[in-house]
Amino acid sequence: MLKHAPPLLGLARVIDAVNARFGQACAWLTLFLVLGTAVVVVLRYGFGIGATALQEAVLYAHALVFMGAAAWVLQRNGHVRVDIFYQRFSARYQALVEVLGTLLFLLPVCLFLGWASWDYVGNSWATLEASSESGGLKYVYLQKSIILVLVVGLVLQGISEIIKAAYIFAGRLPAPEVKHG
């Protein structure tokens, strides 16, 4: 990359670093998903003991794995893409497609999701919503907030991707090496 990055490229790098660290932390929750689910199953079917709080904690972690790590997946180009044509485009044309796709699809969908879920999350926070299950967690409002974590992470990563694609399109940044598989 560039030795002394311009401010916008520096911003993109900061966004990338934050989303990468957060995404990696969320990815580690998959270990908890496996162990927590195993413990719930053993307790319920082996000992007849319900573990509602642990079961709900697994659900919270599941939400974080998928919604918390979404921006990191986007950053790593790990999202689903039908690239029959895209892979044959030049780096500049791919960059243009990235900018247009982000501006026309990713950002509007994220902004709509944020707008549509704002009251849902806000109402949950206003009442400090807790689980309706006996022995459940008292943090449902935090779980619902993960929707906004998804929105913020994807919007920021979208901005980062636009910045990087603009530099590639302008010929001021080399195109990233594409790795498939």
Q: According to the model, what pLDDT value does residue 174 have?
A: 83
Give pLDDT tens digits for 3-58: 677 899 999 999 999 999 999 999 999 999 999 999 999 999 999 999 999 999 99
Scan for tokens 């791919």, then name that residue.
94
Give pLDDT tens digits for 144-163: 999 999 999 999 999 999 99
- Domain interval for residue 105: 7-169
Q: Is residue 78 part of a domain?
A: yes
CA distance 67 to 105: 18
Q: Is residue 1 part of a domain?
A: no
Q: How many domains does the chain have?
A: 1
In angstroms, the first-to-last Cα distance of the chain is 24
Q: What is the largest CA-CA distance in the chain?
A: 64
H-helix or E-strand spanning residue 21: helix 7-41
Q: Is residue 119 part of a domain?
A: yes
Q: According to the model, what pLDDT value does residue 56 have?
A: 96
The model carries a pTM of: 0.89
